[in-house]
Amino acid sequence: MATEHEQTSVSANDNIGTADTSYRHHDIDLDLQTQQQNQIETEVALTQPLISEKIPLVQLQNEYASDDKIYQDKVSELIKRYKYIRRTRRDGNCFYRAFAFGYLERNLNNQNELERFRQLTNDLKDQLVKLGYLEFTVEDVRDIVLEIIDNIRKDGSETTLIENLCSSNYSDYVVAYLRLFTSAYLQINREFFENFIEDGKSVKLFCNTEVEPMARESDNIHIIALTKAAGVPLRVIYMDRSEQSTLTTHDFAAHDDEPSETFQPMITMLYRPGHYDLLYED
């Protein structure tokens, strides 16, 4: 390419004196940014599994300084209620990955529930096509997810679950599809959700930039949409630096008219700023 350029009779350098190097810096900056991002991603991938094994929750104490009273008190609180934690990789996809793993793990031997979810997974494609999505790319993602659900239904073993959700090739398809579940629900209920989006962004724009692209982090709005779309009750325990020693519990009901007294979560997550992990009572 470079030699070709020298041979041509035209050149950008014909215009002398109007050079402004800020545009070239933009080009270099983007390259550098991408390079750095790739480096970080590779490092994360090498040191953090997508989903870890079940770790005794007491180990969480080691994550905070022994004299960090606020956090140590909260960890003690947490240990009273939960026994294990599974860590997820910090890659912006942790909410969806935790949701997928937690849901499937809970329902490994529940054929009815898996069938219900399989049906929803199947039907989502048509919903998306109706919303204007390209059929073949949505099908591409859906078909892998269906395959994973079928693999799990077949033998209901934790090994199969881990094989399917802990290798990035398969696992990312599930994450991508859960993002589509979330997006479709937001768009179908846009009049309601419009009120909760910052900057007056339209629901469609929000979905395009904050929901569907991989690695975009999740907020309450994403959680509400996915739990409703999938019909899965979820409990999130919030642990942050705020002064109160009690942990905050957020319950996300699968259906609007569910009474809070009888709420039973199918999945429980621990939220610490920017990150979601899975919690287990046993």
- Give residues in contact with other proteins (CB under 8 A): 1-2, 4-5, 8-10, 12-15, 18-24, 26-27, 30, 34, 37, 133-134, 136-138, 140-141, 143-144, 147, 167-170, 172-173, 176, 180, 208-209, 212-214
The gap between the terminal CA atoms of the chain, to the nearest Å, is 62
Place of tokens 């802990």: 166
Dmax over Cα atoms in the chain, in whole Å?
79
* Helix %, strand %, coil % of the chain (to 5): 60, 10, 30
**CB of 101 vs other proteins, minimal distance in Å:** 16
Contact 108/276 with Cβ under 8 angstroms? no
**Looking at beta carbons only, is 76 or 137 nearer to other proteins?**
137
**Alpha carbons 135 and 146: distance in angstroms, whole number:** 16
Nearer CB in complex with other proteins: 64/133: 133
63 vs 126 by CB, closer to other proteins: 126
Of the two residues 74 and 179, which places its CB atom closer to other proteins in the complex?
179
Say whether 257 is catalytic. Answer: no
Burial of residue 64 (CB within 10 Å: 0-12, 13-18, 19+) is: middle
Residue 207 annotated among the catalytic residues of the structure: no
Told to judge if 94 belongs to the known catalytic residues of this protein, a careful annotator would answer: yes
From the candidates 91, 172, 207, 222, give the one annotated as an active-site residue.
Answer: 91
Sheet strand arrangement including 84-86: 55-56, 84-86, 275-280, 267-272, 234-238, 248-252
- Smallest distance from other proteins to CB 134, Å: 6
Q: Which residue lies nearer to other proteins by CB, 63 or 147?
A: 147
**Which of the residues 73, 143, 166, 275 is marked catalytic?**
275
Closest approach, Cβ 170 to other proteins, in A, equals 5
Residue 41 or 115: the one with the smaller Cβ distance to other proteins is: 41
Name the H helices within 197-258. 203-206, 220-230
Residue 19 has φ and ψ, to the nearest 5°, of: -60, 130
Question: Among 14, 68, 94, 166, which one carries the catalytic annotation?
Answer: 94
Residue 142 beta carbon to other proteins: minimum distance, rounded to whole angstroms = 10
- Residue 83: CB minimum distance to other proteins, A: 33
Least distance (Å) between residue 46 CB and other proteins? 15
Element spanning 56, H or E: strand 55-56
| CA dist., res. 49 & res. 89, Å (int) | 6
Residues belonging to the active site: 91, 94, 275
